[in-house]
Structure 1
Amino acid sequence: MTAADYTPDLQPGITTEAELQALGEQIAEASRWIPAIMEEISKVVVGQRYVVERLLIGLLSDGHVLLEGVPGLAKTTIIKALASSIQGAFRRIQFTPDLLPSDIIGTLIFNPQTQQYTTRKGPIFANLILADEINRAPAKVQSALLEAMQEHQVTLGDETHPLPEPFLVLATQNPVEQEGTYPLPEAQVDRFMLKVEVDYGTLEDETRILEIMGTTGAKPTVAPVADLDTIVQLRALANRVYLDPKIKNYIVRLVLATRDAKSLDPKLEGLIRYGASPRATINLTLASRAHAFINGRAYVTPLDVRSVAMDVLRHRILRTYEAEAEEVTSTQLVNWILEKVQVP
């Protein structure tokens, strides 16, 4: 099935065909910013279109993104280029074992002359935060991000400070080198809307990288093509993308299947210890809407759901020891679920 093959079921009294058509015209006009942003990023990042699209989905749906890949795959470059293209404040925080929570969120400093405390805000007060190698810092430091990621605010002493909007945490981690790392706790992993696996590019991509970056001349730069107000407007419009009852039911059935996989296929029994939380249902809905918006549609199709389901669900499935012993990955489990759950 393609997106063009799907016809949404309209709900009388909620959405009419005329309203859906009018919304489609608005989205077609507004989504023109997306190719412009991707074009600017492509000046400094060759290939990795999938990763860039996932970052845009996170930006449009107010969801944080965890990037996993070996060093040297331009993860930092992509995030910095995205910030430049939307004129957002960018901060890079290098997570290390000796990092302190105050190094991220800030602290209160006592002034002996005035006998008062003053607030010194940390690098978390920006639009796009790159938490580089997030699993290299201990749990106490990782947990300093929880309030910021969930509530978009930081508490210092008795005062609560709102973070700028839009606010997005983009974290990276190396899947290969595990020595000296601290695995992210489930509570924090669940707060990332998407977990994206970054892979190597093609032969053509590698050759193009050499042509662009393998010289001592001037390097390409990213020009701003949108601003933060535009992103906020696009985010509000993406949230209006229509979701019909069949798609809602499909999303819920996918998430429920992660909690009771054996009902789909007996071979999945004993492989999943914990399935996806209700936050996964919400995130899968928001990500599906953003995916439809990026493709210029005013309604969500099953293809949108299936396109983002892997990135939404893979990090929310906890495998049993039996699954680990049999080397069954979370990616395989999600693929089996997508194959078994009936598509509307």
Structure 2
Amino acid sequence: MPGAIQCRRRRCQAGRARMVRSPVMPGEPRASFFALTPDRVLEAVEVGGLRCTGRCLPLRAFENRVYEVELEDERRLVVKFYRPGRWSRETILDEHRFLADLAAAEIPAVAPLDLGTGTTLGEIEGIYYAAFPKVRGRTLDELDAENRRRIGRTIGRMHAVGAARGAPHRLRLDATTYIREPVEVLLKGSFIPESLAPRYRDVALRIADAVAAPLAAARTQRIHGDLHYGNLLWTSDGPILVDFDDCLVGPPVQDLWLLARGRSEEARRAREDLVEGYELFREFDRSTLALSEPLRACRIVHMSGWIARRWDDPSFPQAFPNFKDHRYWMQEYEELVAISEALA
């Protein structure tokens, strides 16, 4: 045990020594973001008085840069550096405020920690960052009816808190932001094969025209926005909601359909299970279930637009090697056609 402590202390001192020698990197925040090093990460964590052991592990992430950091008190943090230019300080603080509200209501969600500076949001070289406690849990690809109802209850509680106040700086889920603008990006960047591009554009815009009015009429509020299975960690106490980076203002159904997507009878029953649990804590407008497929179209187009916007990040071509392949776009086009025909 003494040897282990001494080893940890040596590692800690070495880490700090490296940080003292580390020069401040000049230039644009975007350049600094791509050139983040463990030394800079540890230095950011220690700004408010937290003390690191020197252990810093990069975690798999696309949009942001994320690291696991060990503190001297043996706590583990997940430190997220937000991609420059995506969110403003006010937009990120809306996310943190939502998470603080959930924590105050004892909703199982992972909220950011005070960095020791009286705030949950730090900044280094123009890059915003936050630290979250590391939570251990596992993801599940499939759920039985009881666990779907259990998640429905959690979402209902989350939405009851989310409706209590606004998020004026977060994105609104609408047809322009989630379909029209991404289509423009895709066409301008010539990502879609030339022979398919006009048809892809036409079917996507037909869906945008069809969904614009129902989306505008639906009741909206703060929601998670990206609640797929990967953003639910299961522990012995039940599900924990993670990664609110894409939280937005939209209809509550957005946080349900991702856990039960598609037009099959199985998907319909799964949505019913979710709503059954949800309604134990909060009223749900069942008429908005009709938005499930249009919202799936929004996600399909928006995700492709997101990849296109990030194509100059070297990690994206590696992660999505088929993005410029004709089969990728044909499959996406056929999905959109099926959704469009179901709306007719």
Q: TM-score, normalised by structure 1?
A: 0.28
Larger RCO: 1 or 2 (CA < 8 Å, sep 6+): 1
- TM-score in terms of structure 2 length: 0.28
